[in-house]
Amino acid sequence: MISRLRPRRPQTEPDPYSFGSRPYDLVKEFVLALVAVVVLTVVLAAAFSSPDVKPMTIASWSQADPGDFTTTALAELDGSSDTAGYGPPYNTAGDGQKLGPLALARAVGVTHPIDTAEAFVLTPLAAAPQSPDVTAAISTWKSASADQQSGWTGAYSDALTKADGDPAKVPAGDYGPVPTMLGQLTRQAQSGSLEGQLLSETGFYHSDYTLPLLFLADGGDMSAQAQTQHLAGDQWGMMNEVGNFPGQVWLAPYTFWYQISPYKTSGNGDALVWGTMGLVGAVLLFLPLIPGLRSVPRYIPVYRLIWREHYRSRAKA
């Protein structure tokens, strides 16, 4: 009986059992690696992590700086705040930003109308039960002529300036119902109820924080905090808050333009940045169709350096 033996295949790889061996403590290696990673994480977090800054609210603002809050509320009441003179989409007091000859804001129009006196002062006061003196102050204000209202706010603004912004140091004068209304508004803000009253949506869930943010932005404390964190328009800086978006990675292409001219000096900086990013996005989107740019890989074959081993093997074959 003849048995056919299968020919033995040539061994292309060395036998793993032919190598030597030595003891290896896997648990020790794991512990050392874990400790090293933890120490490195703590050190890098201490050196480069983002600050966990508490959110600024109208309540915290009015409690920390009631003078600035009162000054801002007065500006909302007499129509001299930044929001009152912004223009579209909030009002028609300004032209809004332009992109060259295109008046973008004016073309869109007033889509979110805001009367600062009503939105920030009168409506929040009317939304809460008030004492008789506050109710009478609101009625007196609404029944007065525009000139009378302007006289009251102008006199109180001058007195507030002389008192270094401290309402408690304002002497008695002909201010009409203004001190009573602003005093009650400050108390509502400090209690935390004003922020909820400024939300422009009804229902359980709220996502439109336009009014609270505009009120904060019209004050001086918000810009002061931005300056402290190096986030002002004349500074380089981005901050990624601990928590959810926004984060600095996706904001970087936008914020870069604000640091260079003409973006940082133009009154239409937002529109210019928007237009520039739209142009950059269009170039990236239509890159395969743009003559010259689509041929860049032919003249700068970076891909051949990356895949050089592949092209060398093809050349030998």
Give the tokens for residue 46.
């201490």
d(CA 272, CA 138): 43
Query: What is the domain partition of the chain in residue ranges?
Result: 21-48, 58-224
Provide the residue type at 309 as one letter. Answer: E
Q: What is the pLDDT along the chain (317 residues), one digit of tens a residue?
A: 455 555 565 556 667 676 667 777 889 999 999 999 999 999 988 887 766 778 889 999 999 999 999 999 999 999 999 999 998 999 998 888 888 888 888 888 899 999 999 999 999 999 888 999 999 999 999 999 999 999 999 999 999 999 998 999 999 999 999 999 999 999 999 999 998 888 865 666 677 889 999 999 999 998 888 888 777 766 666 665 555 555 566 777 888 888 888 888 888 888 899 999 999 999 989 988 888 888 887 777 777 777 878 778 877 76
Residue with tokens 């404390």: 221
What pLDDT is recorded for position 240? 59
CA 214 from centre of chain: 12
What pLDDT is recorded for position 178? 96
Provide the residue type at 22 as one letter. Answer: R
What pLDDT is recorded for position 124? 94
Residue with tokens 């490195």: 40
Contacts for 88 with CB less than 8 Å, ≥ 6 apart: 94, 96, 105, 106, 108, 109, 110, 111
